[in-house]
Structure 1
């Protein structure tokens, strides 16, 4: 299997609370585990930023399925590249709701999402690359 990492940004079609996000996480965990996908979903102010890791073919099919989900719109593929190793090895899916401001990386994650929304770089790197590097350390 050729390992890939895919990162996308999308806008929620409605504001979501922590209670709204729990069913997404509960559905994604077993679905991703069944197809050998790991990753993390970040939510902030009506925007999703998601990292998915798995085979290229699996991620292509999963992204196609995700693109049809009515809970979000304006999907933007930020990164889809081969990877030497998984960054999110512990999780078939993890979720961080930044609206709760409970993440130890809150400021950095908000900056990444804002940069991705604006199409700007951070320290001359794409927001997706900054995100992946943040969790590798």
Structure 2
């Protein structure tokens, strides 16, 4: 089965604290491990940006499930393309809470989320492609 990468942006229906984010990450990590999905979740200022990697049918089903999750709204599919390899191969789900301001590449990641929210490009690339490129290097 071919590998795909899917990136979406959504707004949290309410601000989540560290414990709630940890519980969300833990659940996603466990679930993804059983369905051959890897990826990373980024949270900043009440916005989620997530990369999911796996078989296309699995990602489609997972995205439909995410779309129905009442914890967020304004879901926007930013990227859904075939991939030659996994960018987040080490993690069934990684999470970066940018509100801690301790993340590696903090400024770059905040800029990516802001660009995605505004629908603008960064150096002629979509926010989703820019995000993937940050982690390919």
Do the structures match in fold with TM over 0.5?
yes
* 1:13 corresponding residue in structure 2: 13
Q: Does 2:122 correspond to 1:122?
A: yes
* 1:62 corresponding residue in structure 2: 62
Match runs of 1:1-137 below 5 Å: 1-137=1-137
Partners of 1:57 and 1:104 lie apart in 2 by: 32
Partners of 1:29 and 1:2 lie apart in 2 by: 21
Q: CA deviation at 1:17?
A: 1.4
Deviation >3 Å, runs of 4+: none
TM-score w.r.t. the length of structure 1 is 0.99
The alignment partner of 2:121 has SS state of coil
The alignment partner of 1:76 has SS state of strand
Partners of 1:81 and 1:15 lie apart in 2 by: 30
Q: CA deviation at 1:132?
A: 0.3
Name stretches of at least 5 consecutive residues in structure 2 with no aligned partner: none
Partners of 1:116 and 1:11 lie apart in 2 by: 11
Q: CA deviation at 1:19?
A: 1.2
TM-score w.r.t. the length of structure 2 is 0.99
Q: CA deviation at 1:131?
A: 0.4
Partners of 2:111 and 2:19 lie apart in 1 by: 24
Name stretches of at least 5 consecutive residues in structure 1 with no aligned partner: none
Q: CA deviation at 1:18?
A: 1.2
How many residues end up aligned between the 2 structures? 137
